[in-house]
């Protein structure tokens, strides 16, 4: 980048996101106002880590260090012009079987080769973030080419087109404008007509976003098939798909569109799988037609998940039936890496984080067993099922033993009083205390008139036999203190540049190095960033028991964590108590669901200040 542009960036960076007028910038660089505007346009197009925004007050810079503090700047939403160009480039490359050069693209779309090169770099990153198995192959002296299967290319084009913001009343005209070079007007009109008819006939109740996706995918299919670019399905899936309601809908489309395209069997398979990925509200298929081998393999997975998490995914018939049926339905779409439509992934991951974590483990087992790829959109659906199961469970009571030194009968009467005040306690025993009494870690002990030595035990709360209000408060305070998460946390201020480095650093200084691999295993399945500058890394839950630990890192600046920006890292080493883990994740969500609250936390400079703000939230 030229020296003047560097000076412009340096100057704006020192203004703490304050706006500076074009005139002031022009005077500072000794150039004209128009040159300043050109500099800023060039910076925004060619430097992905920096964005300069404008307002009536002038210009301000947004860098990686400040993205998390700019709620009004949402960089995940591309400008319409940029989004349309990306779609058109993909559409153009899908029509080419050979390599094309940057100069050819520049001439086609009326941009400079440098701008096209920059846009292709961004496009490559955007494709990668979607998890679609398509790549842009670049060869020196040859140019660029779109690599991937026909299914993945179609998925990519549809995803980019439907992400372009357009109002419902303008959508059909928008489609005509951008697909008339692929499909004639009569065909487009009839696709919409047939969709509307089948929507009513099958009571699909399609929402607008799904309507857009299906209409566009049908047009893409028609064009590609007419150009002899067919999908190829290696295995004979059609027989297995006939029991699904989506097969009936796909056959109806095949019949209705026969005047415009001839569907091969593989294309029908693709359409059925695509319809399944949309999660249409169709009648469920007859479970008696399920493949018994696939059912058994899913049941084995659900049994393993229940053994680890003690969530009845297998033992309760109702839950097993619902989640098994859902998994059975998504195996085929997932085997083709079709994106499962789910508009509420981010909210699910944040609000039901524990269920999402269980679902991630479940998804990993599905991937291993069926050799498919499960992405966040599908993990969120699995999380819904897990959350329903968890919410239906009766909360376990804390197993409690009363200890006394004398007066068994009086202590027995006291037990009934205690359970009246504390419904969460289950008094399972009344035992006499003596020197050398062995305490078990998994019980809460309430000592009645005990000696000082017994009172010093970590899981003993001592009261008087008179059981006055002070004793009630003492038990309540003890129970609340047991639930405190952050009070026992290790809190550090760090300066790292990636999730891997932040996690490793925090684990090393907390002497928890052995958890690095299982935590990173969890990250590779689904990033643990939940929005609002927060990530909650944790290891995959395994059958061995962990001792609960919380390690907090306040990073000096925001870092990219999957699709989110993160500055507050909360590493959680789970306990062996599933309900405790659910409680902890819920508290993390409640404390960090406001960006303003998180900002106040990341601006702290010491542990005392951090804890004070956390406890005030």
pLDDT of residue 543: 57
**How open is the CA angle 119-121-127, to the nearest 5 degrees?**
100
Express each pLDDT in 536-569 by its tens digit.
999 987 656 678 899 999 999 999 998 888 999 9
Q: What is the DSSP letter of 43?
A: H
Distance between CA 240 and CA 247 in Å, rounded? 10
pLDDT of residue 594: 85
Confidence band for 17, pLDDT divided at 50, 70 and 90? low
User: Where is pLDDT greater, at 260 or 441?
Assistant: 260
Judged against a pLDDT cut of 70, whether residue 318 lies above it is answered with yes
Predicted TM-score (pTM) of the model is 0.73
Q: Are 483 and 550 in contact (CB under 8 A)?
A: no
Question: Which pLDDT belongs to residue 90?
Answer: 95
Predicted local confidence at residue 129, as pLDDT:
77
**Predicted confidence band at 484 (pLDDT cuts at 50, 70, 90)?**
confident
Predicted pLDDT of residue 529: 94
pLDDT in tens, 276-307: 999 987 766 555 678 899 999 999 999 999 98
Give dist(CA 153, CA 505) in Å, integer.
Answer: 40
Q: Is the pLDDT of residue 140 over 90?
A: no
User: What's the confidence (pLDDT) of residue 80?
Assistant: 77
Q: Residue 62: pLDDT above 90? A: no
Predicted confidence (pLDDT) at residue 191 exceeds the cutoff of 90: yes
Q: What's the average model confidence in pLDDT over 232-261? A: 90
**pLDDT score, position 76:** 38
What three-state secondary structure class fits 400? Answer: strand
Please check the confidence at residue 114 and state whether its pLDDT lies above 60: yes
Residues above pLDDT 90, as percent of the chain = 52
Q: What is the per-residue pLDDT for 474?
A: 86
Rounded CA-CA distance 460/462 in Å is 6
Q: How far is residue 340's CA from residue 336's CA, in Å, rounded to a whole number?
A: 11
Model pLDDT for residues 164-173, shown as the tens digit of each residue:
888 889 999 9
Contact present, 67 and 75 (Cβ < 8 Å): yes
Does the pLDDT value for residue 1 go beyond 70?
A: no
Reported as a single tens digit per residue, the pLDDT across 64-98 is: 444 333 333 333 345 678 889 999 999 999 999 89
Q: Looking at domain 1-62, which of 1.10.3720.10, 3.50.30.30, 1.10.10.10, 3.30.300.10 is its CATH number? A: 1.10.10.10
Q: Are 479 and 424 in contact (CB under 8 A)?
A: yes
152 touches 337 (CB < 8 A): yes
- Please count the helices (runs of H) and the strands (runs of E) in the chain: 26, 13
User: Quick one: pLDDT at residue 397?
Assistant: 80
pLDDT in tens, 18-55: 678 787 787 667 788 888 888 888 887 776 557 787 76
Helix (H) or strand (E) holding 609: helix 607-616
Over residues 329-373, the pLDDT tens digits come to: 999 999 999 989 998 898 899 889 999 999 999 999 999 999 999
Asked if the model's pLDDT at residue 316 lies above 90, the reply is: yes
Give pLDDT, residue 94: 95
Q: What is the pLDDT of residues 363-416, one digit of tens each?
A: 999 999 999 999 999 999 999 999 999 888 766 788 899 999 888 988 999 999
Residue 425: both structure tokens together: 């306690």
In this prediction, residue 193 has a pLDDT band, given cuts at 50, 70 and 90, of very high
Q: What is the pLDDT of residue 239?
A: 84
- CA 55, CA 576: separation in Å to the nearest integer? 53
- Using CA of residue 496, residue 501, residue 502, residue 507, what is the dihedral sign? negative
- In this model, does residue 268 exceed pLDDT 50? yes
pLDDT of 489 > 80? The answer is yes
Give the architecture (CATH level 2) of 486-615: 3-Layer(aba) Sandwich (3.40)
| Average predicted confidence (pLDDT) for the chain | 87
Residue 47, pLDDT score: 66
Q: What is the pLDDT of residue 64?
A: 44
How sure is the predictor about 14, in pLDDT bands with cuts at 50, 70 and 90?
Answer: low
pLDDT bucket at 59, cuts 50 / 70 / 90: confident
269 vs 593, residue with greater confidence: 269
Query: By mean pLDDT, which of 97-101, 236-240, 379-383, 493-497 is the weakest?
Result: 236-240
pLDDT above 70 covers a percentage of the chain that reads 91
Task: Dump strand ranges (E) for 363-478.
Answer: 398-404, 425-432, 444-448, 460-463
Residue 78: count of CB within 10 angstroms of its CB: 18
Condensed to tens digits (0 to 9), the pLDDT of residues 427-455 reads 999 999 888 888 887 788 999 988 765 65
CB count within 10 Å of CB 279 equals 18
Q: Higher model confidence: residue 13 or residue 131?
A: 131
> In 3-state terms, what secondary structure has residue 355?
helix
**β-pair partners for 59:** 20, 54
Instruction: State whether the Cα torsion 519-520-523-529 is positive or negative.
Output: positive
Per-domain residue ranges of the chain: 1-62, 81-278, 292-392, 398-482, 486-615
Query: Which pLDDT does position 519 carry in this prediction?
Result: 94
SS3 591: helix
Top-level CATH class of 292-392?
mainly alpha
Q: How confident is the model at residue 194 (pLDDT cuts 50, 70, 90)?
A: very high
Are 361 and 354 within 8 A, CB to CB?
Answer: no
């Amino acid at each position: 980048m030229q020296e003047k542009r560097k000076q412009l960036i340096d100057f704006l960076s020192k203004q703490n996101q304050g706006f500076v007028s074009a005139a002031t910038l022009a005077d500072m660089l000794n150039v004209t106002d128009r040159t300043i505007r050109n500099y800023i346009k060039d910076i925004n197009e060619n430097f992905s880590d920096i964005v300069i925004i404008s307002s009536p007050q002038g210009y301000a810079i947004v860098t990686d260090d400040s993205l998390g503090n700019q709620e009004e700047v949402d960089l995940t939403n591309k400008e319409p012009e940029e989004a349309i160009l990306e779609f058109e480039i993909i559409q153009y490359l899908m029509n080419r079987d050979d390599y094309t050069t940057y100069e050819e693209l520049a001439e086609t779309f009326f941009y400079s080769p440098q701008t096209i090169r920059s846009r292709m770099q961004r496009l490559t990153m955007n494709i990668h973030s979607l998890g679609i198995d398509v790549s842009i192959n670049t060869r020196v002296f040859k140019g660029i080419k779109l690599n991937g299967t026909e299914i993945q290319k179609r998925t990519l084009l549809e995803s980019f087109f439907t992400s372009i913001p357009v109002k419902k009343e303008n959508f059909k005209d928008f489609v005509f404008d951008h697909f008339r070079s692929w499909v004639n007007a009569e065909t487009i009109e009839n696709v919409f007509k047939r969709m509307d008819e089948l929507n009513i006939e099958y009571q699909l109740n399609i929402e607008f976003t799904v309507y857009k996706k299906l209409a566009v995918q049908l047009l893409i299919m028609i064009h590609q098939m007419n150009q002899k670019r067919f999908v190829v399905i290696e295995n004979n899936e059609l027989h297995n798909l006939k029991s699904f309601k989506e097969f009936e809908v796909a056959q109806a489309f095949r019949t209705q569109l026969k005047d415009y395209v001839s569907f091969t069997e593989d294309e029908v398979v693709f359409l059925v799988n695509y319809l399944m990925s949309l999660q249409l509200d169709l009648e469920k298929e007859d479970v008696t037609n399920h493949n018994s081998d696939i059912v058994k393999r899913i049941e084995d997975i659900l049994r393993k998940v229940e053994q680890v998490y003690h969530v009845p995914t297998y033992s309760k018939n109702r839950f097993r039936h619902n989640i098994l049926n859902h998994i059975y339905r998504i195996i085929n779409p997932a085997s083709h890496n079709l994106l499962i439509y789910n508009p509420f992934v981010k909210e699910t991951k944040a609000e039901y984080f524990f269920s999402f974590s269980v679902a991630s483990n479940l998804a990993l087992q599905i991937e291993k067993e069926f050799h498919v790829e499960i992405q966040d959109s599908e993990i969120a659906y699995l999380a819904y099922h897990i959350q329903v199961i968890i919410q239906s469970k009766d909360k376990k009571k804390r197993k409690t033993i009363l200890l006394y030194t004398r007066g068994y009968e009086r202590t027995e009467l006291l037990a009934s009083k205690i359970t009246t005040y504390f419904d969460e306690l289950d008094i399972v025993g009344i035992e006499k205390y003596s020197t050398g009494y062995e305490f078990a870690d998994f019980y809460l002990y309430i000592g009645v008139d005990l000696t000082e030595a017994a009172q010093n035990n970590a899981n003993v709360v001592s009261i008087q036999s008179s059981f006055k209000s002070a004793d009630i408060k003492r038990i309540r305070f003890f129970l609340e203190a047991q639930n405190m998460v952050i009070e026992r946390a290790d809190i550090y201020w760090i300066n790292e540049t990636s999730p891997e480095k932040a996690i490793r650093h925090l684990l090393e200084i907390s002497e928890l190095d052995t958890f690095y691999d299982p935590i990173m295993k969890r990250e590779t399945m689904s990033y643990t960033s939940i929005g609002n500058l927060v990530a909650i890394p944790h290891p995959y839950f395994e059958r061995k028991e962990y001792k609960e630990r919380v390690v907090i890192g306040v990073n000096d600046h925001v870092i990219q964590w999957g699709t989110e920006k993160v500055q507050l890292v909360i590493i959680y080493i789970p306990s062996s108590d599933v309900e405790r883990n659910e409680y902890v994740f819920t508290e993390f969500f409640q404390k960090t669901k406001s960006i303003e609250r998180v900002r106040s936390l990341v601006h702290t400079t010491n542990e005392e200040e951090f804890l004070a703000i956390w406890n005030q939230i």
